[in-house]
Amino acid sequence: MGNDLELYDVTVVGGGPAGLYSAFYSGMRDLKTKIIESEPHLGGKLNVYPDKTIWDIGALPPTKTSEVIQNLSTQATTFEPTVVCGEKVTDITKNHDGTFVIETSLQRKHFTKAIILATGYGILRQAKLSVQGAEAYETENLYYEVPDIEQFRGKDVVISGGGNSAVDWANELEPIAKSVTVVHRRDAFGGHEQFVTKMKNSRVNVMTPFAISGLTGCNQGKCIEQVQLEHCESKSCQIKRVDAVVVNHGFEVELSFLDHEPLGLKVEESKLQLNDRMQTSVPGIFAAGDLANYNSKLPLIAGCFQDAALAVNSVKQFVEPTANEYGMVSSHHEKLTQ
């Protein structure tokens, strides 16, 4: 078993926006920092949608996700934290001296005084389309990710889903696709109201309450040619010809390492219950981002930045009880003013 015997002040578990900003801000507070990310690259869930446009980060114009990841990663490494990618955290234990041991899927151990859990909703797997035989089309024109929107130019596209991602992709594809149809089981959509209104006022065909109930293939059964759409109440069906089907049914969550009984983390509905200092039920373990739950939680990327700064400030006082509650502003930091 490989061990990193070096003891860090704080280890950030998760390399998405909350984790990356935590790493940056912990550098601001002069904490010896490590990031552990389960995927091969930093960025977290943002990597699923590299071509998606993000609108709600302050001081940034509408920006492609891939650029946001690059900017966050560059910022996170300003103070040269140790970055470990491709290792899934499998267990966390607490030593008698109050430090923690983090074990990973590569059978390595990492040692740290404090932890910031920024895993988002955990190890994510796309929720698949529950239609018989759907997996046969995944190599051709059934998509769970959209790496390049240009591949949909001039095509008839059906999007299944009703959350932010489905709404955003409908608006992104509407100007370039021949047609876009959004199929959702409920009348209400989960996206931001402005973008839902934009979708409904565009030429996007919104079908509610409908669900995909069947797929018909061509090209020796490898490519979807038609979808069967079933009304969720009357059970009547329509057949629609398609060039591509995009499925945005959310993610299946895997947070098994949080269930370690002796640790005693308070988890409710796959979220950690925190106080206003981002402290979990275990002293020395803090959280930020989608995993964190507390009164007045703001489930936006902008909100996770505040979570991260609050968590880091709490870590600083946990590691150094005499430290100031808040750190200096960036314009006063020597490394950033050189």
- How far apart are the C-alpha atoms of 338 and 336, rounded to whole Å? 6
Separation CA 182–CA 96 (nearest Å) = 55
Instruction: Cite the annotated binding site for FAD by residue number.
Output: 37, 45, 49, 89, 124, 290, 331
**Residues of the binding site:** 37, 45, 49, 89, 124, 290, 331
Q: Which helix (H) or strand (E) holds 319?
A: helix 301-319
Half-sphere exposure of 327 (CA within 13 A, CB side): 24
Q: In 3D, which of 135, 180, 130, 127 has the Cα closest to residue 153? A: 180
Q: Where are the beta strands (DSSP E) in 138-178?
A: 142-143, 156-160
Rg (CA), the chain: 22
Q: Is-contact 16 289, C-beta < 8 A?
A: yes
Between CA 262 and CA 302 the distance in angstroms is: 34
The values of phi and psi at residue 136, to 5°, are -70, -20
Local structure of residue 128 (DSSP, 8 states): P
